[in-house]
A and B are shown apart, each in its own frame.
Chain A
Amino acid sequence: QKEVEQNSGPLSVPEGAIASLNCTYSDRVSQSFFWYRQYSGKSPELIMSIYSNGDKEDGRFTAQLNKASQYVSLLIRDSQPSDSATYLCAVTTTGNQFYFGTGTSLTVIP
């Protein structure tokens, strides 16, 4: 299995702060990168995808990709208690095989 690594956390941030989630991957030919959010007892939900180096913003979420460093991150601005969940990083190489990290548990403290 391709290696995708995340800090397991738990990561705690106060409400309104920026939460920073990190992910590294081992396969240099990885092409597509995703962030999923998973609430307890629920299925993973796609929140961001990024395919090119640089930043991609969507509302309060920003994904950052650095292929040279094999690193992808997710920033959540103005964190809300409803953002408390496990965040899963996923990558694909050639084709449509998805490989997931172990997830980072985020708690936003009101």
Chain B
Amino acid sequence: DTAVSQTPKYLVTQMGNDKSIKCEQNLGHDTMYWYKQDSKKFLKIMFSYNNKELIINETVPNRFSPKSPDKAHLNLHINSLELGDSAVYFCASSSRRGPADPPMYTQYFGPGTRLTVL
């Protein structure tokens, strides 16, 4: 069973287009994330979202917007795509494990979407 899934796996598009990437998790986790991984392998958090709060990394351009139709889905919309948006985008989800303090979280990643902007 796939825990965190993303579609599409590959996305090739022209500069200026608008595109979406979908993410679904069946783990019952309460928080979902979008990360961008560039060619140097740096994994940068873009957004985290649960049913209470959206946390946005302030360095993310407002051309990027997350949309969550329900707790199990967090889609990423990108407007006016630019060459520098080419990267691998990972969706992830996490949940708190038990009542321990400090809290313990477990995070799992989707397979990634390789976006190429031409």
Q: How far is the CB of A95 from chain B (nearest CB, A)?
A: 8
Task: Contact check, B41 vs A103: say whether CB atoms are below 8 A apart.
Answer: yes
- Asked whether, in the complex, the Cβ of A43 is within 8 Å of the Cβ of B104, the reply is no
Q: Is the CB of A98 within 8 A of B33?
A: yes
In the complex, how many angstroms separate the beta carbon of A45 from the nearest chain B beta carbon? 8
Annotate B91-113 by CB proximity to A: 1 below 8 A, 0 otherwise. 01010100010111111111110
Give chain B residues whose Cβ lies under 8 Å from the Cβ of A103: 41-43
Q: Known contacts A43-B90, A44-B90, A44-B109: does B104 contact A32 (CB below 8 Å)?
A: yes
Known: A96-B94, A97-B48. A86 touches B41 (CB 8 A): yes
The docked-state distance in angstroms from the alpha carbon of A38 to that of B103 is 25
Nearest CB on B from A65, distance (A): 13
Known: A1-B57, A43-B90, A44-B109. A31 touches B103 (CB 8 A): yes
Check: B63 CB closer than 8 A to any chain A CB.
no
Separation of A95 and B59 alpha carbons in the complex (Å): 20
A49 within 8 A of B: yes
- B94 adjacent to A98 (CB under 8 Å): yes
Asked if A62 is an interface residue, CB under 8 A from chain B, the answer is: no
Q: A61 within 8 Å of B by Cβ?
A: no
* Contact code string A85-108 (vs B, CB < 8 Å = 1, else 0): 010101010011111101100000
Q: Which of chain B's residues has its CB closest to A30's CB?
A: B102
Q: Are B45 and A98 in contact (CB-based, < 8 A)?
A: yes
A43-B111, A51-B104 given as contacts; is B55 within 8 A of A97 (CB)?
A: yes
Which residues of A in the span 16-47 have a Cβ within 8 Å of any Cβ on B?
31-32, 34, 38, 42-46
Spell out B's residues near A (CB within 8 Å): 31, 33, 35, 40-45, 48, 55, 57, 59, 90, 92, 94, 96, 100, 102-112
Residues on A facing B (Cβ under 8 Å)? 1, 31-32, 34, 38, 42-46, 49, 51, 86, 88, 90, 92, 95-100, 102-103
